[in-house]
Chain A
């Protein structure tokens, strides 16, 4: 019977046989232990048959007792009641077994055959007891043919219909030949003519065949439709999962600009998405015509380090670099493969490879390996291409960023070196000028000339310092790696210098600092750049009055301000003062020397620290600069707390 049920099963299994590769291999393995859709249907039908059998058994029981008085027929009540009882009893057994059994597909099918067999025994007994071939109950065999058409293959259904025809025929023949006695209560049946029996038998068989034809035609169509529906449902599901996975991959690989991390993530995701064992991503070195290791997943160190791949020797990679998608069924045996023995040792079987392309050039090649031989389907090939395309964008981004970063480091290094080289001769000149009076007395003109030289050298010093500050202000370093520092402690030396400057001009410096132990994520030099510029500007452009510096910590922020009672900044200049090298006409006219870089530096440092700077000013009354920089975040196991102590 097993082979009768099988064709029908495999017909419905089609969607399941299409490898559902975008599930991780592990998930697939567990999914196979679960019931297939057809088995689930079989289970439902078994319950349905049991429900029908309650009715059939009860109907037989009632019919046995009410048919004789109602239809004036004589039936063997005792045996028929026994059959009805047996049917109900068997059904109870089947019902309880189905409920308590652990349902594997094998058991389900066994159960189905058992039920069908028991039904046929019951039907044969009932037909025999109610008149053999003349019994109207022979027609009840048609019900079983319809049920069979729903669950069995077409071939099995026709076999069943022939069996249904043979059963009453054989019964009639055996009765006529008096091999078995006719039911005693039915004397009319004993006198049946052989020819009549043959005609009835032919009619019944034809009836069964027609029923089978109709039922199997209808159920066949339904099965086709169901399979198509299931297939498209799987296709939609697969497409959705693919889309979702690609979206996630996109998010993951774009979440970092570390090129090694990006490559590793692509390899890892490609392995999982294609349900493979490992992935190897190589980048193309055009000048050497070699592929070097980019990112890997699931491969041993020995395999990764086996050596560079010469593109000319590896036909697979050559083809992939030219834009093709290549699959190899057994990598250990394929002559196009450069490292066959190593791949065999690593347990790699089938491989799918495609190029990583961006802007019409191949950046490298990605390979996904399986642990078992596998033929990659077209959707799988497309999926790998999509992963590679997504990866290409992330790789380009990360590469550009790392190039930018190294350029930036070079720029800062250049600025520092130049700074030292420019300052050294100026320092020597200035030192010599300072030493001049110690070499002998100077006359007034010499003294005046020396003062002028000293001033001009100092201007040059200021410009050099500001240029270095500007270079440092614009650097791209990762702010998170900087150690937090105490704000007030760090700016204290600046205040002393500013107080000296203010005192020299007859101004007072007022402190309104209330920041306690507040920490900011900045380098001491960053704070110097901000506050020494603001304080020195305030002192320089304030002829009389006072300069105030204040600061306090609020939720997550350090708010600081520098206020003066100076000349103020006109509305139009308030927009321009943060530009590099800009000096307002009023500032120039005031006779104060400056490079015009100070505020530009301050703004850039503030912004790099994740903060802001704003100014409010009124000409002739004064100016106030407000600096806002984020407080350092201290990571604790439970939560992130701010370091505000106030």
Chain B
């Protein structure tokens, strides 16, 4: 929580997607922190302790997104993690959201209404972080 707003950490190696996420989320009253790769994402997670994290499934390395999810889950089991994935990605077909402890999976291209509704439902009533 920052200035009474929820902090969303977005990790994606595509700067254009990051920018779109930022515009949509900031216009809807969230604070957005961006990380361009898994390593920066991990560091930002430790520094910021965000209220939710959106991670791209396929980054510079094929399964970098999955590894990051496992690491973040190990660090903190409470923060909701969302995965960004492309329909038809071969990893997506074998992705088991529950087993990974994901709060949800978003399809690329981003559909603002879906994204915002999911975040709102998840974060509503959640106590602000110190």
A interface, over-half SS: helix
Indicate if the CB atoms of A525 and B109 lie closer than 8 Å: no
A642 to B23, CA, bound (A): 55
Residues of A within 8 A of B58 (CB): 420
Q: Which residues of B contact A234 (CB under 8 A)?
A: none
| Per-residue contact bits, chain A 418-458, to B (CB 8 Å; 1 contact, 0 not) | 01100110111111111100110000000000000000010
Task: Check B17 for interface membership: any CB of A closer than 8 A.
Answer: yes
Known contacts A434-B111, A435-B112, A524-B93: A427-B23 contact under CB 8 Å: no
A136 CB to closest chain B CB (Å) equals 108
Between-chain CB contacts (< 8 Å), 9 pairs: A420-B86, A424-B86, A427-B109, A430-B109, A431-B108, A435-B21, A435-B24, A524-B93, A525-B93
Contact of B17 among A419, A428, A457 (CB under 8 A): A428
Query: Which listed residue (A432, A457, A468) contacts B88, Cβ 8 A?
Result: A468
Question: Does B74 belong to the interface (CB within 8 Å)?
Answer: no
A238 at the interface (CB under 8 A from B): no
Q: How far is the CA of A212 from the CA of B43 in the complex (A)?
A: 116
Question: Chain B, interface size: which category?
Answer: 20 to 34
Task: Tell me whether B93 and A439 are in contact (CB under 8 A).
Answer: no
Beyond the given pairs A426-B109, A438-B23, 17 more chain A to chain B contacts, judged by CB atoms under 8 angstroms and listed by A's residue number, are A420-B89, A427-B17, A427-B86, A427-B109, A428-B14, A428-B20, A431-B108, A432-B16, A432-B19, A434-B20, A434-B24, A434-B111, A435-B110, A438-B24, A438-B112, A439-B23, A525-B93
Q: B27 near A: Cβ within 8 Å?
A: yes
- Residue of chain A at shortest CB distance from B22: A435
Contacts of A424 in B (CB 8 A): 14, 86
At the interface, yes or no: B87 with Cβ under 8 Å from chain A?
yes
Which residues on A are within 8 Å of B, measured CB to CB?
A: 416, 419-420, 423-424, 426-435, 438-439, 457, 465, 468, 524-525
Contact with A along B1-43 (1 / 0, CB 8 A): 0000000000000101101110110011000000000000000
Known: A427-B109, A430-B109. A435 touches B90 (CB 8 A): no
The complex places the Cα of A432 from the Cα of B14 at a distance, in Å, of 12
- What is the minimal beta-carbon distance from A423 to any residue of chain B, in angstroms? 5
Known: A427-B108, A427-B109, A468-B88. A435 touches B23 (CB 8 A): yes
Which residues does chain A contribute within 8 Å of B109, judged by CB atoms?
A: 426-431, 433-434, 457
Q: Which residue in chain B gives the minimum CB-CB distance to A424?
A: B14
Q: Which of B94-127 contact A (CB under 8 A)?
A: 108-112
* Residue from B24, B88, B112 whose CB has the most chain A CB atoms within 10 Å: B88
Output the least CB separation between A246 and chain B (Å). Answer: 46
Q: How far is the CA of A431 from the CA of B56 in the complex (A)?
A: 13
CB distance from A526 to the nearest CB of B (A): 11
Q: How far is the CA of A427 from the CA of B111 in the complex (A)?
A: 11
User: Nearest CB to that of A423 among chain B residues?
Assistant: B86
Question: With A435-B23, A438-B112, A439-B27 known to touch, is A428 a contact of B16 (CB < 8 Å)?
Answer: yes
CA distance A432 to B109 in the complex (A): 9
Query: Closest Cβ of chain A: how far from B106's Cβ, in Å?
Result: 10
- Complex Cα–Cα for A457 and B108 (A): 13
By a CB distance below 8 angstroms, the chain B residues around A465 are 87-88
Q: 4 tightest CB-CB pairs across the interface, nearest first?
A: A430-B109, A435-B20, A428-B16, A438-B27
Q: Which of A430, A431, A435 has the most CB of B within 10 A?
A: A431
Which residues of chain B from 33 to 74 have a CB within 8 Å of any chain A CB?
Answer: 58
Q: How many whole Å from B60's CB to the nearest CB in chain A? A: 12
Least CB separation from A437: chain B residue:
B112
Q: How distant is the Cα of A427 from the Cα of B16 in the complex, in angstroms?
A: 9
Known A424-B14, A427-B17; judge A434-B110 contact (CB<8 A): yes
* Neighbouring A residues of B88 by C-beta, 8 Å: 419, 423, 465, 468
Q: Does A432 lie within 8 Å of B87, measured CB to CB?
A: no
A419: which B residues are within 8 A, CB to CB? 88
> Which B residues touch A433, using CB under 8 A?
109
**Residue numbers in A under 8 Å from B17 (CB-CB):** 427-428, 431
Q: Which chain B residues lie closer than 8 Å to A432 at the CB level?
A: 16, 19-20
Q: Of B20, B21, B89, which is in contact with the most chain A CB atoms at under 10 Å from its CB?
A: B20
Nearest Cβ in chain A — how far from B95, in angstroms?
A: 12
Bound together, the chains give a CA A468 to CA B89 distance in angstroms of 10
Nearest chain B CB to A414 CB, angstrom units: 13
- Chain A, Cβ-Cβ closest to B23: A435
Given contacts A439-B27, A525-B93, is CB(A431)–CB(B86) below 8 Å?
no
Which of chain B's residues have a CB closer than 8 A to the CB of A426?
109
Please give the distance in Å from A469's CB to the nearest CB on chain B: 8
Given the known inter-chain contacts A438-B23, A439-B23, A439-B27, please indicate yes or no for A431 contacting B87, CB distance below 8 A.
no
Contacts of A428 in B (CB 8 A): 14, 16-17, 20, 109
Q: How far is the CB of A188 from chain B (nearest CB, A)?
A: 121
Chain A contacts for B27, CB-based, 8 A: 438-439
CA distance A435 to B90 in the complex (A): 27
A424 to B27 alpha-carbon distance, docked (Å): 24
B56 to chain A, nearest CB (A): 10
Set of chain A residues within 8 Å of B16, measured between Cβ atoms: 428-429, 431-432
Contacts of B14 in A (CB 8 A): 424, 427-428
Q: CA separation between A435 and B21, bound complex, in Å?
A: 7
State in angstroms the CA–CA spacing of A438 and B30 once bound together: 13
